[in-house]
Structure 1
Amino acid sequence: MQGAIGNNNDVVKKQGIEIYGMSLLSFALVSLVVLIATFTDNLPSGMVGALAIMIVLGGAFNEIGNRTPIVKTYLGGGAIVCIFASAAMVTFNIMPTSVVENVDFFMNDVGFLNFYIAALITGSILGMNRQLLIKASVRFLPVAICAITFALILVGIVGSVVGYGFKEAIMFVAIPMMGGGMGAGVIPLSNMYSQALGTETSQLLSVMIPASTLGNVMAIIGAGIIAKIGTVKPSWSGNGKLMKNDSSDLDEKKSNKLNLRMLGIGLLLSITYLTLGTLIGKLVPGIHAYAWMIIAVAFSKIIGIIPENLEQSANQWGQFVMTNLTSALLVGIGISMIDLNAVVNAISPLYLLLVFVVVSGVAVGAGVGGKLVGFYPIESSITAGLCTTNMGGTGDVAVLSASNRMELIPFAQIATRICGALILIVASVLLKVLM
């Protein structure tokens, strides 16, 4: 994810540190008011109080994470700090119980989570270049899907051999790693699993988040290693070019000037598509509403039935929500859904092995598959492979930076956005087949 959770804070602006576009002093004054109300148990109840503490903590934790060495480079930066620092405040009883209960109610009962996911999915897919989406489905997507399939089968076999379990390795390690990050992958997946299995979302997140985080770390390290292989085997590398025919024309350059009315239209479109997904899910049960929503949005985009101004509206709304509410959402997740003790218990040498198998599997599968369709194996392995296991937009940037191939960002975005969306659909089906 870019925006609120983007790793673009390495350079301190001349006017000083800014959080949410505010000077550090201004943000500190706002935070002081909210924190005093919080710790004197005078924070307003409902949406106002929940958003106040989530946004304030999100801004602070995100900034810390994006400026902390190692954390910002390998561990997901602000996203991870938002989640685990806020979870620690609950675990160690730093945050008042009334505030924790209010945030939990806002996240789950009020439905802030669904609100965010609807904006993210609708905006990201409708905001893509249509030709990029169509061309990608011809060669790139089949390579990525084959690589993902290979990795799923491989980790299932390894999981069975080492005693973790075939279906457990696929559903609780591999699938969360390939969902496209926290907001677009792990969070909706945890909701889907919870409804299908009758398990608490907090328990599921405690297993899924370590998989996503560790997958991100290994993907970044793997990108650097694969890039080095390209220098040893020059014929395998396009030096930043994925295929023989230059793909630079696939990058989207359309202007999308901010418009307040368009933000409102985007809001309406996002909740309409979620409602449509819910309706279809009632008529055709067995596949989650998120999956039907993704199918509906992608179908609308490909056949071109949505006017361009409405597509831009959805994209603007999605960008607004991601930029301003992502860190707040992650804090809400940490407060209401993460059990730190369960997370620690989930990480083990066996768990690390399975994560390694998934990352290695997609890298090898994408490299071989890419070569068969005319891609350079190194670039294919990095984009169609490693970018399916990182943490969304920040993971894309980190992986491509580690391999010195930032020009491949359009394909990296396909791997995280489209393949991540497909993983939600696959997960919805596998929940019925395997679980």
Structure 2
Amino acid sequence: MKDTKIMGLSIPVYLALLVVVVVGIILDVLPGGMIGAFAFMMVVGALLNLIGNKTPIINTFFGGGPIVIIFGSAALVYFGILPESVTENVNTFMKGGGFLDFYIAALITGSILGMSKKLLMKAAIRYFPTILGAVAVALALVGVGGLIFGYTFFESMAYIGIPIVGGGMGAGAVPISEVFASAMNVPAEEILSRLVPAVALGNAMAIVAAGLLDKLGKSRPSLSGNGKLMEIGEDTDLHAKDEVFTPSLTDFGKGIAIAVVFFVFGRIVGWGFETAFGLDIHSYAWMIISVAVAKAMNLLPRELEQACASWYNFVAKNWTSALLMGIGIAYTNLGQVIDALSLQFIVLVALVIIGVIIGSMVVGKMVGFYPIEAAITAGLCMANMGGTGDVAVLTAANRMELMPFAQISSRLGGAFIILLATLLVQMFF
């Protein structure tokens, strides 16, 4: 405990902050707006994150901190432990205050612009077809499985398959729920409550499957590259790191400005397409496309790309637990989550995991990848809970050197799923 840090703070300092927040809640004097919301979400979220990361079994098989934050905060609301004033303030901050959009803008802009263009271009030719194979087989299997259990083909794809392969919670399930809500004219939190169980259970199954694939690779050496993805040629140059960049306070300002302007640009393009062609495509999708085009065409100087990546890293490092608290309180109905869990639901989630493994193995082999490594990166890293899921999956598979490819799956693969969800919801709902 002596060396344990929470939010980068020593235990006594952190406990002092926690006591102040708890007293403010008990006395019902916690400020409204972003001050009260940030105080509660950051401080309590950090505690739940520590509990999840330190709890055996949960930290190994169920995603650790993120799962505990989401469902722990949802439980505070479900069991009436959290005062109504705090719940309402968090709801307002997440939705009306736009904290969710602010976080996602930083994530999309920084993650894409911060990637190595060399890695992006060299891996795309072989890697993206492998991702497509994983997604196609997974969605087909869960769609057919859904028919057996009484769902429509697209319903099981939309509420189980797509959120699992969508890139996690903050960059996957949440924007996907917004996309569905916009097209279906229903509250986003109602949809997210149906997506969260699939993401959580899919993440847990992906981690377990990674460990099993590692064992398969040891028993069948011909299927494994022991951490090397390509069967033909060397891919070590794809792991080259960017030049060292030490951000200044001004760089954070640049990153904020570029991120929010890209978000505005996505809204403008979305309005233009809806006005001109009647296509109601979510602004997140247009933002992703515009940032990817800017990256591919070198429209921004490298220093601005690095500024955006630095701002994203700051946001992800300091506010992810707060965001997950907001997701648990404002977007997760624990009662609906409990009602969703059933044997048939577990089977359908398992079909998605089996599907990404089979699809990525087959297509990966066809394009020159080792099947085990293809299944872990283009398959399971599409089906886990984003960045934290990548670490858990690669740790279970003993292949941390594949992190660059895992990040492609979580970042650009997840972005592709948002685009796919936008198109499919227009076609089937």
Band the TM-score falls in, shorter-chain normalisation: over 0.9
Q: Distance in 1 between matches of 2:206 and 2:184?
A: 30
Of residues 121-130 and 140-149 in structure 1, the stretch that sits farther from structure 2 once superposed is 140-149
* Residue of structure 1 in register with 2:211 after alignment: 224
Gaps of 5+ in 1: 1-11
Tell me if the contact between 2:74 and 2:329 (Cα under 8 Å) persists in the aligned partners.
Answer: yes
* 2:51 pairs with 1:57: no
* 2:242 pairs with 1:248: no
For 1:277, give the aligned amino acid. Answer: G
Post-superposition Cα deviations, 1:40-59, rounded to whole Å, max 9, x if no partner, equal 10011111111111111111
* Residue of structure 2 in register with 1:179 after alignment: 166
Tell me if the contact between 2:163 and 2:176 (Cα under 8 Å) persists in the aligned partners.
Answer: yes
* Residue of structure 1 in register with 2:175 after alignment: 188
Q: Distance in 1 between matches of 2:135 and 2:203?
A: 15
* Residue of structure 2 in register with 1:261 after alignment: 250
Post-superposition Cα deviations, 1:94-141, rounded to whole Å, max 9, x if no partner, equal 111111111111111111110010001101000000111111211111
For 1:326, give the aligned amino acid. Answer: T
Gaps of 5+ in 2: 275-279
Query: Could you state the TM-score of these two structures normalised by the residue count of structure 2?
Result: 0.96
Post-superposition Cα deviations, 1:122-180, rounded to whole Å, max 9, x if no partner, equal 01000000111111211111111122112112211221122122011110001100111
Cα distance, 1:30 vs structure 2: 1.1
* Residue of structure 1 in register with 2:88 after alignment: 101
Q: Distance in 2 between matches of 1:33 and 1:123?
A: 34
For 1:296, give the aligned amino acid. Answer: S
Post-superposition Cα deviations, 1:200-243, rounded to whole Å, max 9, x if no partner, equal 22221211111011111111111111222222221111111110
Of residues 209-218 and 141-150 in structure 1, the stretch that sits farther from structure 2 once superposed is 141-150
Cα distance, 1:339 vs structure 2: 1.2
* Residue of structure 2 in register with 1:274 after alignment: 263
For 2:233, give the aligned amino acid. Answer: N
Cα distance, 1:261 vs structure 2: 0.5
* Residue of structure 1 in register with 2:150 after alignment: 163
How do 1:3-402 and structure 2 match up within 5 A?
A: 15-243=2-230, 244-254=232-242, 255-285=244-274, 286-402=280-396
Cα distance, 1:252 vs structure 2: 4.3
What secondary structure sits across from 2:299 in the alignment? coil
Tell me if the contact between 1:128 and 1:252 (Cα under 8 Å) persists in the aligned partners.
Answer: no
Q: Distance in 2 between matches of 1:98 and 1:19?
A: 26
Cα distance, 1:399 vs structure 2: 1.0
For 2:217, give the aligned amino acid. Answer: G
* Residue of structure 2 in register with 1:409 after alignment: 403
* Residue of structure 1 in register with 2:277 after alignment: none
What secondary structure sits across from 2:241 in the alignment? coil
Tell me if the contact between 2:263 and 2:287 (Cα under 8 Å) persists in the aligned partners.
Answer: yes
What secondary structure sits across from 2:281 in the alignment? coil
Q: Distance in 1 between matches of 2:398 and 2:90?
A: 41
Post-superposition Cα deviations, 1:358-389, rounded to whole Å, max 9, x if no partner, equal 11011011001111111111111111111100
For 1:403, give the aligned amino acid. Answer: A
Q: Distance in 1 between matches of 2:187 and 2:123?
A: 37
What secondary structure sits across from 1:199 in the alignment? coil
For 1:420, give the aligned amino acid. Answer: G
- RMSD across aligned C-alpha pairs, in angstroms? 1.1
Q: How many residues align?
A: 422
For 2:6, give the aligned amino acid. Answer: I
Q: Distance in 2 between matches of 1:135 and 1:144?
A: 15
What secondary structure sits across from 2:89 in the alignment? helix
